[in-house]
Amino acid sequence: MTLTLHEEAVIRFVDVCVSFAGRMQENIVLDQANFTVPKGKTTVIAGGSGQGKSVILKLILGLLRPNSGQVLVGEKNIATMGYAQLQEQRMRFGVLFQGSALFDSLTVFENIALPLRERTSMRNEEIVAKVQTTLKQLELGGHEDKYPAQLSGGMKKRVGLARALQLDPEIVLFDEPTTGLDPVMTREIYELFTQTQQRLGYTAVIVSHDIPQIFSLADQIILLNKGELDVFTNPSQIPLSSKTKIREFARLVLGYEETKG
Amino acid sequence: MSQTNSESMAPLRWVGALGAHTLYVLGDLGRMGVFLFWAVLGVFKRPFRFKELLKQLSFIGGGSMTLIFFTALSSGMVLGLQGYYSLHKFGAEGMLGSAVSLTLIMELGPVLTALMVAGRAGSAMCAEIGIMRISEQIDALECMAIDPFRYFISPKFLAALLSLPLLTAFFDVIGILGGYIAGVHLMGVNSGAYFSGMEQSVTNHDIQLGVIKSFIFGWLVVWICTGRGYLVQKIRGAGFGAESVSKVTTQAVVLSSISVLVFDYLLTAVLL
Ligand SMILES: Nc1ncnc2c1ncn2[C@@H]1O[C@H](COP(=O)(O)OP(=O)(O)O)[C@@H](O)[C@H]1O
Ligand SMILES: [Mg+2]
């Protein structure tokens, strides 16, 4: 296995295998997955439901360990890391969860302030000031005293994004940021994403099945289907994939014709 | 051919299922053990969340007092009436105080308190942690490098561990008063005899047994209830979403009640 060592790669998967014990047979989610995530760029991971997109994010965060293979963040292998080291690594990430994962017993303000309160030594006035600025940037002013259950889907995502960005992460992971939103809100979230990325310069990994719209944001596209995975830098390469299941996916979902001589 | 084959395989499949189930149970116990380790460790991690502990103490301890009060009062009064009825036959009404207090301190106090706390606070803790698990709030904490144990699980754990012996003591006192009301006020047993009988027959050893029981029941209830909630996604047959939380909460209350009853017998047999 020869790997091109991109200098600017922040995340690298090397021969990662993940499977879960199923009732009848093993459910193989990732079979020898290899890819890198370039620094400062946007990587989109797309694939049907249940193909392992969230699993990839959980591997990156060390919430799940692979059966075999390495998940490298920077130079370190998340897959074999101890708890303390893992905590340190996680400080580099911001995560927007699929269901926003806001703390439902805390207000919007307290949700966004939580990482600052728990992970920094900032004084209360500084925290209030910083959270107020974020609230304004994400057009959440006036909602700070509401609880997550009182918010619309789009607002929840914005609060989740605000919370994810509080500690100025190097890498931000988005798990289906627009699923369940109407087209207007979807566009709003994408605009917000582009704005914040330009302002903060983070590396983004976006999981989505918002195909093909999501491709316009991507510097790199990773497609997943039935355990196979392929990497593209341009959507036009997708039908030319060497992997049969990826071509099958492209044909079914993207409507691309299989162009094979 | 294939039919005879599958028929001859039937007993083997049964053995296989048994093996798979055994492995699941062992794995489950292992996960519960690891959970217990982290929950205990979380109590010692800094910064300690004192406010959260107070909040939980007030919910688990303070909030359970009404329920414990009525349970204890009614058990004590029933014990007083029944004790009087039995003892009266032998002309031994003077033993009422001793009979009521020993039953309460050694048996009913620890057991009923543990069962009530499992039903009221244990189920609530299980459901809350389970919901935080399935809505990825626990994952979100981990991703912010905030230890979920230190942040909210261990304070619940500690609060329940501290509350249970205190609630048991409260139960004993109210129960003894209930016995007094029934025996002395309603049935006319001599008031001095009620208390002196109690004083003479209850030894330190009896009280110790009650205290040991309440501590161990506290561990069982809080461990099972919080652990089941935390592991909601790893429990076989629980299903998904809201249903999984409801099933696991029911399971937690049933399991912790059964283990309290089993341990009650074991502890009585070993320590009495
Ligand atoms: N903790 C787990 N235990 C067992 N199976 C899991 C677990 N997490 C994910 N899976 C399985 O892995 C597959 C991929 O899941 P996921 O990554 O959540 O899909 P998606 O691409 O929709 O995000 C699914 O078949 C799912 O059932
Ligand atoms: Mg997913």
Residues B14-65 pLDDT 10s = 898 899 899 999 999 999 999 999 999 999 998 999 999 999 999 999 999 9
**Ligand nearest to the backbone CA of A224:** 1
Exposed/middle/buried for B195, CB within 10 Å: 0-12, 13-18, 19+? middle
B151/A contact by beta carbon, under 8 A: yes
Neighbours of ion ligand 2 (CB under 5 A): A 54
A103/B contact by beta carbon, under 8 A: yes
Contact A260, A250 (CB under 8 A): no
Residue B7 has what pLDDT? 57
B240/A contact by beta carbon, under 8 A: no
Exposed/middle/buried for B23, CB within 10 Å: 0-12, 13-18, 19+? exposed
B48/A contact by beta carbon, under 8 A: no
**Across all residues in chain B, what is the average pLDDT?**
93
Please answer yes or no on whether B137 and A104 come within 8 Å at the CB atom: yes
Other Cβ atoms less than 10 A from the Cβ of B5: the count is 8
The answer for A 21-60 residues in CB contact with B (under 8 A) is 58
Tell me how far apart the alpha carbons of residues A226 and A246 are, in angstroms, rounded to a whole number.
9
**Across all residues in chain A, what is the average pLDDT?**
89
- Closest by alpha carbon to B149, among B21, B39, B70? B39
> In which order are the strands placed within the sheet that holds A68-73?
A27-38, A9-20, A68-73, A76-77
Chain B residues in contact with A93 by the CB 8 A cut-off are: 143
Please give the distance of CA B13 from its chain centroid, rounded to a whole number: 38
Chain A residues in contact with B142 by the CB 8 A cut-off are: 61, 63, 90
Tell me the H-state helices in chain B.
Answer: 2-43, 50-56, 65-89, 96-103, 109-117, 123-134, 137-143, 148, 154-180, 191-201, 204-230, 241-271
ipTM of the complex: 0.86
Strand bridging mode A220-225 / A228-232: antiparallel
What letter would DSSP give residue B235? S
**Ligand nearest to the backbone CA of A46:** 1
Please answer yes or no on whether A114 and B147 come within 8 Å at the CB atom: no
**Who has greater pLDDT, A213 or B36?**
B36
Task: Please write the tens of the pLDDT for every residue from A18-52.
Answer: 999 877 788 999 999 999 999 999 999 998 888 99
Residue B5 tokens read as: 């084959």
Tell me how far apart the alpha carbons of residues A169 and A202 are, in angstroms, rounded to a whole number.
7
Residue B8 has what pLDDT? 61
Give the orientation angle of helix B65-89 with respect to helix B154-180, to 10 degrees: 40
- Closest by alpha carbon to B61, among B169, B213, B194? B169
A97/B contact by beta carbon, under 8 A: yes
Task: Please write the tens of the pLDDT for every residue from A111-120.
Answer: 999 999 999 9
What letter would DSSP give residue A107? -
For the segment A108-127, the average pLDDT, to the nearest whole number, is 94
Closest alpha carbon within chain B to A98: B136
Tell me how far apart the alpha carbons of residues A61 and B143 are, in angstroms, rounded to a whole number.
7
Please answer yes or no on whether A115 and B144 come within 8 Å at the CB atom: yes
Residue A212 has what pLDDT? 82
Strand bridging mode A220-225 / A203-208: unpaired
Candidate from B135, B147, B151 with C-beta closest to A101: B135
Contact B198, B98 (CB under 8 A): yes
- Cite the beta strand spans of chain A per DSSP E: 9-20, 27-38, 42-47, 68-73, 76-77, 93-96, 171-175, 203-208, 220-225, 228-232
**Ligand nearest to the backbone CA of A23:** 1
Residue A2 has what pLDDT? 37
A120/B contact by beta carbon, under 8 A: no
Tell me how far apart the alpha carbons of residues B94 and A83 are, in angstroms, rounded to a whole number.
62
A156/B contact by beta carbon, under 8 A: no
Candidate of A17, A19, A20 to mutate for ligand 1, largest count of ligand atoms within 8 Å of Cβ = A20
For the segment A51-59, the average pLDDT, to the nearest whole number, is 93
Please answer yes or no on whether B139 and A90 come within 8 Å at the CB atom: no
Chain B residues in contact with A98 by the CB 8 A cut-off are: 136
For A207-221, B42-56, B94-108, B197-211, which range has the lowest pLDDT when averaged over its residues? A207-221
Task: Please write the tens of the pLDDT for every residue from B112-169.
Answer: 999 999 999 999 999 999 999 999 999 999 999 999 999 999 999 999 999 999 999 9
Tell me how far apart the alpha carbons of residues A203 and A235 are, in angstroms, rounded to a whole number.
20
| pTM exceeding the 0.80 threshold for the entire prediction | yes
Tell me how far apart the alpha carbons of residues A135 and A143 are, in angstroms, rounded to a whole number.
9
Contact A46, A214 (CB under 8 A): yes
**Who has greater pLDDT, B13 or B72?**
B72
Total beta-carbon pairs less than 8 A apart between chain A and chain B: 48
Please answer yes or no on whether A63 and B146 come within 8 Å at the CB atom: no
**Ligand nearest to the backbone CA of B232:** 1
Candidate from B139, B146, B147 with C-beta closest to A101: B139
Q: What are phi and psi of B110, to 5 degrees?
A: -60, -45
Angle at B88 between CA B82 and CA B94, to 5 degrees: 95
Contact A177, A96 (CB under 8 A): yes
Contact A197, A49 (CB under 8 A): no
Q: What percent of chain A has pLDDT over 70?
A: 95
Residue B1 has what pLDDT? 43
Cα Dmax for chain A: 66
For the segment B172-199, the average pLDDT, to the nearest whole number, is 94
Closest alpha carbon within chain A to B47: A118
- For ligand 1, whether the C-beta of A51 sits within 6 Å is yes
Candidate from A88, A90, A101 with C-beta closest to B136: A101
* pLDDT confidence tier of residue A3, bands split at 50, 70 and 90: very low
A52 Cα to the center of ligand 1, angstroms: 6
Candidate of A28, A30, A55 to mutate for ligand 1, largest count of ligand atoms within 8 Å of Cβ = A55
Residue nearest to atom 6 of ligand 1 (CA): A20
Query: A76 in the Ramachandran plot: left (φ > 0), alpha (ψ -120 to 50) or beta?
Result: beta
